[in-house]
Structure 1
Amino acid sequence: MTTTSTPPSQSKSASTRRQVSSASARDALIAAAIGEFAAKGFAGARVDEIAGVAGVNKQLVYHYFENKQGLYLVALESVYAQIREKEKALSLDAMGPLEAMSELVGFSFDYLAEHPEFISLLTDENRNRGRYILASDRLKTMHSPFIEMLEATLSRGVEAGVFRAEYDAVNLYISMAGVSYFFFSNNHTLSAIFGRSLDAPSALLQRRRHVIAFVLNALRP
């Protein structure tokens, strides 16, 4: 009597495929969740809709994330992780303080322009009083390289005599982010009120230049 066994290489290959398939399904659910929560908020989003967009069985949501809240929390963590990774790619060492500050302000503006889902998720989370972000240990420890770079650029500018000394990095970040955030979160109503297409490429470029100049002028001695 002869017996056959699966060669170790084939068994390992099958295991790897299962792991890749599992990771792909999880990633697909997170991507679909970001879109669904951004469009409808936490209250309006539906797990079956998310699973349908992801092309997976609804039960996988509960398998990977336990419940809707767990999926929402991972979606929030994912969008914050994405912006943190992009922040790390900024290289300011070879720039003077004015140029570096322009780069930081422009980065903040560009990210919001390119990621409307981030604005929608933040708006909904603020409506929820930040309750889900507060529940995330990962988000609490997800340190922002942007603040460190902003603080270092401020210090260099003060030392060079081109920036005022009384600003701190956190307050400056809130101000510069707020100027851009309001523009994008209220773009449709602002366009209607002023009779302009403020989402047109030319309007975005004009606004970007304005925001950079606005921040730099506020920092000048």
Structure 2
Amino acid sequence: MNGPVHRARPARSAAPARKEPTRTNDPERTKANILEVAEGEFGEKGLAGARIDAIAAATNTSKRMIYYYFGSKEGLYLAVLEESYRRVRDVEAELHLQDLEPEEALRRLVAFTFDHHLHHESYIRLVMSENINRGEYLAQSPRIQELNVPAIAAIRNLYERGVKAGVFRRGLNPIDIHASISALSFFNVSNRHTFSLIFKLDMTSPAYIAERRENVVEMVVRFMRKN
């Protein structure tokens, strides 16, 4: 009598290799998503502390794909800087300052700058981080230099119209005007934690923000207004 027949079990098929997540079907959307997430990562941790792994996980893509698009961690950081400056300059161009009377245009510009900085803390932290780097990466970008030319030109045009109309006093430099607007708007975000603790203020309360916004606008207008 023959012994029991042992049927050979069918060999298990090997599990398919796990593919790295990609979004090559919509590369522009993928790049935009990477830049958005990377802005938060670099803003929160700086260039040294940011991790490409974290950006890849948050965007459901891969390190390989990020390096494909941006070349390196430093390349992604520079792209984030350029995109951050591009966004703010694009919105500034939509303010149509040339269509407004000089003082009204100035008020709109200052209020916009205040609001933009208030609602884009990652942008503020990026600028702070790049200052810690002594502008090393910003200096590598001709694009950022070009993006800021229209911003100064718009202020120069606004100011010269105001001087001609007898609204603004003579002798001011458009770059200095830009610096003053930026500084007054920047501080409210860059120093909010230390300033709030030292002076027991809630700099995030709607009442404080509204009053501070009005004061900043008024300070710049009075600085430029002809006596």
Q: Do 1:87 and 1:146's aligned partners in 2 also have CA atoms closer than 8 Å?
A: yes
CA distance in 2, matches of 1:209, 1:148: 25
Q: Which has the higher helix share?
A: 1
Consecutive unaligned residues of structure 2, counting only runs of 5 or more, are 1-22
2:119 match: 114
The match for 1:62 among 67, 80, 83 is 67
2:202 matches 1:182 = no
Give CA-to-partner distance per residue, 1:78-134, whole Å, 9 cap, x none.
111111110110112332211111111111111101111110000000000000011
**Helix, strand or coil: the match of 1:131?**
coil
2:41 matches 1:40 = no
What TM-score, normalized to structure 1? 0.88
1:213 match: 218
**Helix, strand or coil: the match of 1:191?**
helix
Range that drifts further, 72-81 or 193-202:
193-202
CA distance in 1, matches of 2:205, 2:149: 30
2:19 match: none
Q: Do 2:38 and 2:80's aligned partners in 1 also have CA atoms closer than 8 Å?
A: yes
How many residue pairs align between the two structures? 204
Amino acid across the alignment from 2:112: F
CA distance in 1, matches of 2:27, 2:220: 46
| TM-superposed deviation, 1:19 | 5.5
The match for 1:26 among 25, 31, 35 is 31
| TM-superposed deviation, 1:220 | 2.2
What TM-score, normalized to structure 2? 0.85
Q: Do 1:47 and 1:58's aligned partners in 2 also have CA atoms closer than 8 Å?
A: yes
CA distance in 1, matches of 2:146, 2:97: 24
**Helix, strand or coil: the match of 1:165?**
coil
Range that drifts further, 193-202 or 90-99:
90-99
| TM-superposed deviation, 1:146 | 2.6
Q: Do 1:164 and 1:219's aligned partners in 2 also have CA atoms closer than 8 Å?
A: yes
Consecutive unaligned residues of structure 1, counting only runs of 5 or more, are 1-17
Q: Do 2:118 and 2:188's aligned partners in 1 also have CA atoms closer than 8 Å?
A: no
Range that drifts further, 19-28 or 176-185:
19-28
Q: Do 1:37 and 1:72's aligned partners in 2 also have CA atoms closer than 8 Å?
A: yes
Range that drifts further, 121-130 or 103-112:
103-112
2:139 matches 1:141 = no
The match for 1:99 among 79, 83, 104 is 104
1:154 match: 159
CA distance in 2, matches of 1:217, 1:140: 30
**Helix, strand or coil: the match of 1:142?**
helix
Identity of aligned residues (%): 37
Q: Do 1:79 and 1:118's aligned partners in 2 also have CA atoms closer than 8 Å?
A: yes
Q: Do 1:87 and 1:145's aligned partners in 2 also have CA atoms closer than 8 Å?
A: no
2:170 matches 1:165 = yes
| TM-superposed deviation, 1:152 | 1.2
| TM-superposed deviation, 1:157 | 1.3
Give CA-to-partner distance per residue, 1:10-68, whole Å, 9 cap, x none.
xxxxxxxx754222322222111111001100010011111111111111111111110
Q: Do 1:97 and 1:156's aligned partners in 2 also have CA atoms closer than 8 Å?
A: yes
Q: Point out 4+ residue stretches in structure 1 off by more than 3 angstroms.
A: none
